[in-house]
Structure 1
């Protein structure tokens, strides 16, 4: 197997050179005094489309009914998107954490480039979001929902004509929202997912047809702790739990999670010797199945409440699709549904995200566009969160700006054969508040995955995903795979070197200690 240097580097260089040789059809404006001007290059002959981007929180890639992974799970509206549109089967985030991933979506850049590397790092000055380019192209834009990127504020951000958000993670019931700069309190058992959808549909209804629109609907769901809509509470009380085969590999005699009767572990070779120590030790922690959230909930309830919270999210998708259909807007609108990162449910004895295992870095990605002629309803190519901005811009008739490191996958949706990446890259930076997971870098191809556990005295990881989809047979010592491993290691370091990722972007942030070991000091 030959692992190549990231294809996007060559494409970006070619695009930059081409732009210098062509007559530029540009438009520019000053956002605020002292801000750099925004320039766009339009795609000649393109017809701008309306775009709705729906972002879910912590929605893992296989938690959709049509995937068949969870018997009894019902997501009829996501199923409809996949059936009538395109399911991007291999969609990944470059960092499996809320703020860095959301920043990568909005900027089209890796975390080490935009420097929002954790949930506390403030946004740097001059960061450019793709909706700002849309505004310059004549779009009306709205952001509705969870911002949680770079800070905990809810103030309106650049690129959006209409703004509805909340502070931090928000709350599922009776939230207070910032609506265009004003605090609006909601009560009477108002449910966040339903409320955000109300705001979204109302804005779409008022948008008018004079200018194309872009809506960014960013849900709180399905972020922990999970609280379903009251109408959905208990819907999956009798659902059979799907315990992953790797859940009990690191269990000890003192484990608080009992192996269920009839449980079957992973088939094929299992390398228990080379499970990283940090994975073993995290089992009994805030993000481990033996001490989940410090023992405040048991695994089975946790699992079922996640799926019950997902029900309102699916209904939200359905409401948007129905509105567009009923108003005659569907033919000129593209709806994209995505998760900001995945979520673990017991794999390797862990919950949450952050790590580079499949359940963490892999996300759902659906595209619904009745006006587009899809050649296939499943896309196998590897797409990342950094590709969302370039894709939306192309749908709007705007070429990818040079600061973006992602690529538009719109041609792939149309069935065009274009040069595309053979691998995706991953980075996660150790967090002060959740020190159980180390800094991680890595690369994944369509078959292999290499994980570099940085800053800890521990073993690295290499998996053959075709033979070992559960990632339980670490082949890092395998003599037969050393050439492949070396190629992937070289590719990973080349990616970091050539994209400016060789230094961890530290930020001066005060972290208040929250346990009695540090007596409440900083």
Structure 2
């Protein structure tokens, strides 16, 4: 019998191609294990490897960046705890999910992205600070295991709501260590037959900063280089720089460098407390990564580390967050998954917190809901040039009853310019050339040559708000909680 080797060869090629397609299809469907670590008030450049603070040591963050990626242009849509956390969990802007401040309650119609993971067969867990409007600690949808505390929580001797039962810890139990210990214990006890998603949400490094006892005093006497804009509001130079009056007025407020949190503390001492508190978070990352390596999960697990908002240390005479200056709106974003992309990357593309949910859902093989405007940032890490690149980020912050010093803010940032528009205040807006003025010192809002840029960006902000149903400011009843009694609230 005459054998037609050409036909056999074609058959083998087709069969091999089909086999590869099938294996790729199966690999694509395979859900990935994912860990999301969120920290509080951690600004984007306060990590050892950035060199911003020469004496700050964060070996585990450094390693995460070296083996994975550091995305230096990562922004939040609102620089405030509850709105940012809600944007991460829903993939939506603040005016859409309506948790516009730290008091605004969950409207009751939101879907958190872990709910999609749980429905897809993931074993999910949450550890730490929830703090999304209502200050409660009750278990939330989408998590098969739950451990949290009310409101901001405490650094020492916390009480955790563990799956509906409250457990109190004493003997100087440190919250960062406790959450890490419980998180790793859950990883070890989980159902090994199911993919997992773990959300580790630290209280640290929120003010007032309290480091672990082992870290207290490590940086005593250390000082930072004060930013170039530190003294501008004090000297009156802000008038020549055309800054808004409200910025100068804040200098002696709760969020100003001359009366920080209504205390007469030295800024360098407060920064030391901040950095010493951050050391516990860095060790937490190391503990989680060591566990993954011991169990052979470190190559395939997607690990994401992020801050919920940035933090100013003297820039424009301000501390804390809320404003749209770089230090307040930028957050650290470290990503590692050797199976997915090669490490050592520092991509410059802009990313926002509304991209977290789409990214995690994509890696879980789940289609992104239509009400999520964000996109997966994995193509940035894998070098997929076909994916759309974010050309701008939008920002919003709504005036708060408890912190009336900062007005309502709307903003837009591109790679080259930032436009800041204020609402409900008689003051000037701001326009900065980020290429030539990265410190945002020279407000160009009155520059005749920049008027077309200001008009265009202002128009784009209104287009964004209109297209995302944000043209009406979501007003919320003001609720104040008595200190130390999260169950008792008063309306104002």
Q: Does the pair score TM above 0.5?
A: yes
| 1:327 counterpart residue number | 295
Alignment of structure 1 residues 171-182 onto 2, 5 Å: 171-182=154-165
Q: Kindly indicate whether the alpha-carbon contact (under 8 Å) linking 1:376 and 1:415 is maintained by their aligned counterparts in 2.
A: no
Cα distance between partner residues in 2 of 1:289 and 1:270: 15
1:144 aligns with 2:98: no
Q: Kindly indicate whether the alpha-carbon contact (under 8 Å) linking 2:336 and 2:343 is maintained by their aligned counterparts in 1.
A: no
In structure 2, runs of 5+ residues without a counterpart are 1-24, 484-489
Q: Kindly indicate whether the alpha-carbon contact (under 8 Å) linking 1:439 and 1:453 is maintained by their aligned counterparts in 2.
A: yes
Alignment of structure 1 residues 50-69 onto 2, 5 Å: 50-69=33-52
Cα distance between partner residues in 1 of 2:482 and 2:293: 50
Q: Kindly indicate whether the alpha-carbon contact (under 8 Å) linking 2:129 and 2:201 is maintained by their aligned counterparts in 1.
A: yes
Alignment of structure 1 residues 11-160 onto 2, 5 Å: 45-160=28-143
| 1:235 counterpart residue number | 218
| 1:280 counterpart residue number | 248
Q: Kindly indicate whether the alpha-carbon contact (under 8 Å) linking 1:271 and 1:473 is maintained by their aligned counterparts in 2.
A: no
| 2:421 counterpart residue number | 452
Cα distance between partner residues in 2 of 1:43 and 1:365: 30
From 485, 493, 503, give the equivalent of 2:462. Answer: 493
| 2:168 counterpart residue number | 185
Alignment of structure 1 residues 83-482 onto 2, 5 Å: 83-252=66-235, 272-295=240-263, 297-374=265-342, 377-417=345-385, 418-482=387-451
Q: Kindly indicate whether the alpha-carbon contact (under 8 Å) linking 2:480 and 2:491 is maintained by their aligned counterparts in 1.
A: no
Q: Kindly indicate whether the alpha-carbon contact (under 8 Å) linking 1:375 and 1:415 is maintained by their aligned counterparts in 2.
A: no
Q: Sort the Cα spacing of 1:277 and 1:325 in 2 relative to 1 into closer, same or farther, 3 A.
A: same
SS for the counterpart of 1:401 is coil
Cα distance between partner residues in 2 of 1:465 and 1:207: 47
Between structure 1 and structure 2, the one with the greater Rg is 2
User: How much does 1:511 deviate?
Assistant: 4.1
User: How much does 1:295 deviate?
Assistant: 1.6
Cα distance between partner residues in 1 of 2:26 and 2:283: 35
User: How much does 1:50 deviate?
Assistant: 0.3
Q: Kindly indicate whether the alpha-carbon contact (under 8 Å) linking 2:41 and 2:307 is maintained by their aligned counterparts in 1.
A: yes
Q: Kindly indicate whether the alpha-carbon contact (under 8 Å) linking 1:52 and 1:335 is maintained by their aligned counterparts in 2.
A: yes
Could you list the per-position Cα deviations for residues 474-503 of structure 1 after superposition, in whole angstroms to 9, with x for gaps in the alignment? 000111111222211111110011111111
Cα distance between partner residues in 2 of 1:521 and 1:426: 28
- Of residues 335-344 and 489-498 in structure 1, the stretch that sits farther from structure 2 once superposed is 489-498
Q: Sort the Cα spacing of 1:513 and 1:436 in 2 relative to 1 into closer, same or farther, 3 A.
A: farther
Cα distance between partner residues in 1 of 2:139 and 2:240: 49
Q: Report the number of matched residues.
A: 461
Q: Kindly indicate whether the alpha-carbon contact (under 8 Å) linking 1:375 and 1:414 is maintained by their aligned counterparts in 2.
A: no
SS for the counterpart of 2:299 is helix
| 2:487 counterpart residue number | none
Cα distance between partner residues in 1 of 2:47 and 2:27: 38
Q: TM-score by structure 1 length? A: 0.86
Cα distance between partner residues in 1 of 2:389 and 2:235: 44
Q: Sort the Cα spacing of 1:334 and 1:273 in 2 relative to 1 into closer, same or farther, 3 A.
A: closer
Q: Kindly indicate whether the alpha-carbon contact (under 8 Å) linking 1:43 and 1:398 is maintained by their aligned counterparts in 2.
A: no
Cα distance between partner residues in 1 of 2:339 and 2:241: 53
| 1:16 counterpart residue number | none
Q: TM-score by structure 2 length? A: 0.91
Could you list the per-position Cα deviations for residues 182-231 of structure 1 after superposition, in whole angstroms to 9, with x for gaps in the alignment? 11000111111001000110011111320100000000000000000011
Q: Kindly indicate whether the alpha-carbon contact (under 8 Å) linking 1:283 and 1:291 is maintained by their aligned counterparts in 2.
A: yes
Cα distance between partner residues in 1 of 2:359 and 2:278: 26
User: How much does 1:47 deviate?
Assistant: 2.2
Q: Kindly indicate whether the alpha-carbon contact (under 8 Å) linking 1:43 and 1:399 is maintained by their aligned counterparts in 2.
A: no
Cα distance between partner residues in 2 of 1:241 and 1:88: 24
User: How much does 1:45 deviate?
Assistant: 3.6
Q: Kindly indicate whether the alpha-carbon contact (under 8 Å) linking 2:68 and 2:343 is maintained by their aligned counterparts in 1.
A: no
